[in-house]
């Protein structure tokens, strides 16, 4: 038995490829998500350049279809999702006082599955053309699309979707089972709460996507007839399955952003969050209602007035808990000692922007009006207001706020503010005019338009805005690069934080907490600071700390599926068999080799504690 096997330190690349440490996996998610964010952003820039004047010929119509499909798919699945997982990994175990997530091995597997799914999808650019059926991949457009673009879409999402699903289960179990003593559910920081609800949504929303993608794959590779009306199929089944997944998906994205905003607003107002329990209730309610509204994406397919009305009312109902949240953020700031740090600027910018997206959302929820708005730029404006103006602004707030915790360095505030103002102004310049373009009749997903229809000026303004957003993003990357050359942050608690992640010394030890902390209330760290204590009260004596072993198997399992996907795309069964064999053999090894982890000995922990700087 090798339970007490000594601690093997790996270094460099091997360390990152085999890590099961949630903090490192968070960084991997952040880097990979950032990379795909740039790719998705470039695709958006190409589209805006094409549309900056009427009858432009910067890209061909076919390329434009590929760009819009890849932009949507990349941004949702390979930028926003991993960035959310980045913060969930980096922050949630720290906020609940845990040493790691419940399943560290599965956590690494989730990352590598996502990563290879994203790589697979993007390789389609080099291998005969990207998918071109929109990120929604409606049948029969997707089932009859030529080339193998849509096959890349199906398999890329299938692989990364599996990674997301196991990640969701992992965080649910972590939050339920691994909370520190005293950390009751109603003392959990709001970011942890939103991570919890989001993970629940992932658990129930991703299985339908899995099935939908299987059906689409069977249709394209094995000539199935689910969506083929000539043989009894029904295209509406795809639309239902896609949106049964797709609508909860947008709540999966927005809830952690809400959580990040809640942390930032409370911290920089120097007040506890207003209406904490109402916030928790609103989060759960939004998550629940998120499953009841998917038909509002399908108002115009003709399901009849009864179905449309039911789903319209359900959709409008979501405005209520969301409104509760907006007011609670405002009341948190009311009377607070507000510090306008960069993180706070993003949070303050988020509130009115997201409200605008919410208002157009309620407009779209009215079926009769939706017949006018449907498939126009009004819809494009709406979902960019909620996803960029909501999710991305929230994630940027989180990035500036948690960057010191993740990397032990702060980002430059001046560059941060330049980033905020260029991106924020650029964002409104890009998408505000698009509401009017839509109302004037410009359909979405068109590669060009004619002059003399009053569309020229607004499209031009929109493109200018897009360039501003690009400049803002470049400033962010400059800021990140500069920060790497800097020394450690002056303090482990640079923002005077309220929650447990700020109670840890820097750099964050591998085991997070030398002694599991005792939580005595909401805003656990703030309570101790207000009581004049230097740190958290420990709930246990210093002792040996059990740690999981690093493993290369998650990477190999994901590579196996990546290989098998190529076999399916190019119809070569031997490659499929080889790929699946790699995955199954790795699973077999994982199953039969007992992995008891190792212990960091009491003496080492005590040694670390001596050198602690707070």
Nearest to other proteins of 288, 436 (CB atom): 288
Determine, following the binding rule CB under 8 A, whether residue 549 of this chain makes contact with other proteins.
no
Determine, following the binding rule CB under 8 A, whether residue 566 of this chain makes contact with other proteins.
no
Q: What tokens appear for 35 in the block?
A: 């990379």
Using the structure block, give the residue that is written with the tokens 């093997």: 8
Determine, following the binding rule CB under 8 A, whether residue 355 of this chain makes contact with other proteins.
no
Q: Pick from 414, 484, 574, 591: which binds other proteins (CB under 8 A)? A: 591
Site string for other proteins, 121-160 (x = CB under 8 A): ----------------------------------------
Nearest distance from C-beta of residue 95 to other proteins, angstroms: 18
Backbone phi and psi for residue 568, each to the nearest 5 degrees, phi listed first: -70, -40
- Nearest alpha-carbon partner for 164 in 260, 92, 76, 295: 76
Q: Pick from 486, 572, 588, 607: which binds other proteins (CB under 8 A)? A: 588
Contact window for other proteins (CB under 8 A) among 70-78, 207-215, 277-285, 467-475 = 207-215
- Nearest alpha-carbon partner for 274 in 325, 331, 214: 331
Nearest to other proteins of 31, 173 (CB atom): 173
Determine, following the binding rule CB under 8 A, whether residue 451 of this chain makes contact with other proteins.
no
Nearest distance from C-beta of residue 409 to other proteins, angstroms: 33
Determine, following the binding rule CB under 8 A, whether residue 436 of this chain makes contact with other proteins.
no
Nearest distance from C-beta of residue 221 to other proteins, angstroms: 11
Nearest distance from C-beta of residue 203 to other proteins, angstroms: 5
- Nearest alpha-carbon partner for 357 in 434, 281, 456: 434
Determine, following the binding rule CB under 8 A, whether residue 224 of this chain makes contact with other proteins.
yes
**Biggest CA-to-CA distance, the chain:** 79
- What residues from 308 to 337 belong to the interface with other proteins (CB under 8 A)? none
Determine, following the binding rule CB under 8 A, whether residue 294 of this chain makes contact with other proteins.
yes
Q: 561-583 burial string, b = 16+ CB within 10 Å, else e? A: bbbbbbbbbeeeeebbeebeebb
Nearest to other proteins of 237, 527 (CB atom): 237
Determine, following the binding rule CB under 8 A, whether residue 177 of this chain makes contact with other proteins.
yes
**Which residues share a beta bridge with 376?**
443
Nearest to other proteins of 355, 587 (CB atom): 587
Give Cα 268 to chain centroid, integer Å.
24
Residue 314 CB: number of other CB atoms within 10 A?
18
Determine, following the binding rule CB under 8 A, whether residue 55 of this chain makes contact with other proteins.
no
Nearest to other proteins of 209, 500 (CB atom): 209
- What residues from 230 to 269 belong to the interface with other proteins (CB under 8 A)? 231-234, 236-237, 240-241, 244
- Nearest alpha-carbon partner for 548 in 31, 98, 77: 98
Q: What tokens appear for 42 in the block?
A: 């470039």
Residue 11, CB half-sphere, CA atoms under 13 Å: how many? 0
Beta-strand (E) ranges in 372-488?
A: none
Nearest to other proteins of 212, 361 (CB atom): 212
| CA distances, 140 to each of 124, 147, 359, 570 (Å) | 20, 15, 32, 21
Determine, following the binding rule CB under 8 A, whether residue 207 of this chain makes contact with other proteins.
yes
Nearest to other proteins of 112, 226 (CB atom): 226
| CA distances, 303 to each of 228, 238, 367, 399, 433 (Å) | 19, 15, 11, 43, 32
Q: What tokens appear for 7 in the block?
A: 């601690």
- Nearest alpha-carbon partner for 108 in 216, 233, 213, 24: 24
13 Cβ neighbours under 8 A, 6+ residues apart: none
The single-letter DSSP state of residue 186 is G
The single-letter DSSP state of residue 271 is S
Q: Pick from 176, 186, 313, 339: which binds other proteins (CB under 8 A)? A: 176
Q: How many residues bind other proteins (CB under 8 A)?
A: 53
Q: Pick from 18, 63, 136, 225: which binds other proteins (CB under 8 A)? A: 225
Contact window for other proteins (CB under 8 A) among 72-80, 175-183, 500-508, 563-571 = 175-183
Residues interacting with other proteins, by CB under 8 A?
A: 1, 3, 102-103, 165, 169-170, 172-173, 176-178, 200, 203-208, 210-212, 214-215, 218-219, 222-226, 228, 231-234, 236-237, 240-241, 244, 291-292, 294-295, 302-303, 307, 588, 591-592, 594, 596
């Amino acid at each position: 038995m090798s339970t007490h096997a000594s601690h093997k330190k790996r270094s460099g690349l091997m360390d990152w490829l085999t890590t099961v440490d949630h903090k490192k996996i968070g960084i991997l998610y952040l880097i990979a998500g950032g990379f795909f964010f740039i790719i998705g952003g470039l695709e958006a820039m190409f589209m805006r350049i094409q549309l900056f004047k009427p009858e432009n010929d910067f890209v061909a119509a076919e390329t434009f279809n590929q760009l819009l499909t890849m932009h949507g798919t990349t941004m949702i699945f390979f930028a926003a999702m991993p960035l959310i997982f980045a913060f969930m990994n980096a922050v949630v175990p720290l906020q609940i006082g845990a040493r790691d997530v419940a399943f560290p091995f599965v956590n690494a597997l989730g990352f590598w599955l996502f990563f290879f799914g994203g790589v697979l999808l993007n390789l389609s650019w080099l291998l005969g053309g990207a998918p071109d059926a929109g990120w929604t991949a409606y049948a029969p457009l997707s089932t009859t699309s030529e080339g193998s673009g849509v096959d890349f879409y199906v398999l890329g999402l299938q692989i990364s979707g599996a990674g997301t699903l196991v990640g969701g289960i992992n965080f649910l179990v972590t939050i339920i089972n691994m909370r520190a003593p005293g950390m009751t559910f109603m003392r959990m920081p709001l970011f942890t709460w939103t991570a919890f609800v989001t993970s629940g949504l992932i658990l129930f929303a991703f299985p339908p996507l899995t099935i939908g993608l299987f059906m689409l794959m069977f249709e394209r590779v094995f000539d199935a007839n689910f969506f083929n009306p000539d043989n009894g199929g029904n295209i509406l089944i795809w639309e239902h399955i896609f949106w049964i997944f797709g609508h909860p998906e947008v709540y999966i994205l927005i809830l952690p952003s809400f959580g990040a905003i809640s942390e930032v607003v409370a911290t920089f107002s120097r007040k506890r969050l207003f209406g904490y329990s109402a916030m928790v209730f609103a989060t759960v309610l939004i998550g629940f209602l998120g499953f009841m509204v998917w038909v509002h994406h399908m108002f115009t397919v003709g399901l009849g007035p009864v179905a449309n009305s039911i789903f319209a009312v359900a959709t409008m109902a979501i405005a209520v808990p969301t409104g509760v949240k907006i007011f609670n953020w405002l009341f948190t700031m009311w009377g607070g000692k507000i510090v306008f740090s960069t993180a706070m600027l993003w949070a303050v910018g988020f509130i009115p922007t997201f409200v605008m997206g919410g208002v157009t959302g309620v407009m779209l929820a009215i079926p009769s009006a939706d017949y006018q708005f449907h498939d126009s730029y009004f819809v494009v404006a709406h979902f960019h207001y909620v996803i960029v103006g909501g999710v991305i602004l929230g994630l940027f707030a989180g990035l500036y706020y948690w960057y010191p915790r993740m990397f032990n360095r702060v980002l430059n505030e001046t560059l941060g503010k330049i980033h905020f103002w260029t991106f924020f102004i650029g964002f409104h310049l890009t998408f505000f005019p698009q509401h009017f373009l839509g109302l004037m009749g410009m359909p979405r997903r068109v590669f060009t338009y004619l002059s003399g229809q009053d569309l020229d000026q607004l499209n031009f303004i929109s493109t200018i805005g897009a360039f501003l957003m690009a400049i803002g993003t470049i400033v962010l990357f400059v800021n990140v690069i500069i920060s790497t050359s800097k020394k450690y942050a002056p303090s482990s608690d640079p923002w005077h934080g309220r929650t447990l992640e700020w109670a840890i010394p820097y750099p964050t030890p591998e085991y997070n907490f030398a002694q599991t902390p005792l939580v005595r209330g909401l805003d656990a760290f703030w309570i101790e600071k207000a009581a004049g204590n230097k740190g958290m009260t420990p709930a246990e004596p210093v002792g040996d700390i059990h740690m999981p072993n690093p493993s290369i198997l998650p990477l190999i399992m994901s590579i196996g599926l990546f290989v098998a996907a190529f076999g399916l795309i190019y119809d070569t069964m031997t490659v499929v068999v080889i790929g699946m064999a790699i995955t199954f053999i790795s699973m077999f090894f994982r199953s039969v080799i007992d992995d008891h982890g190792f212990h960091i000995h009491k003496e080492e922990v005590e040694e670390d504690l001596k050198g602690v700087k707070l």
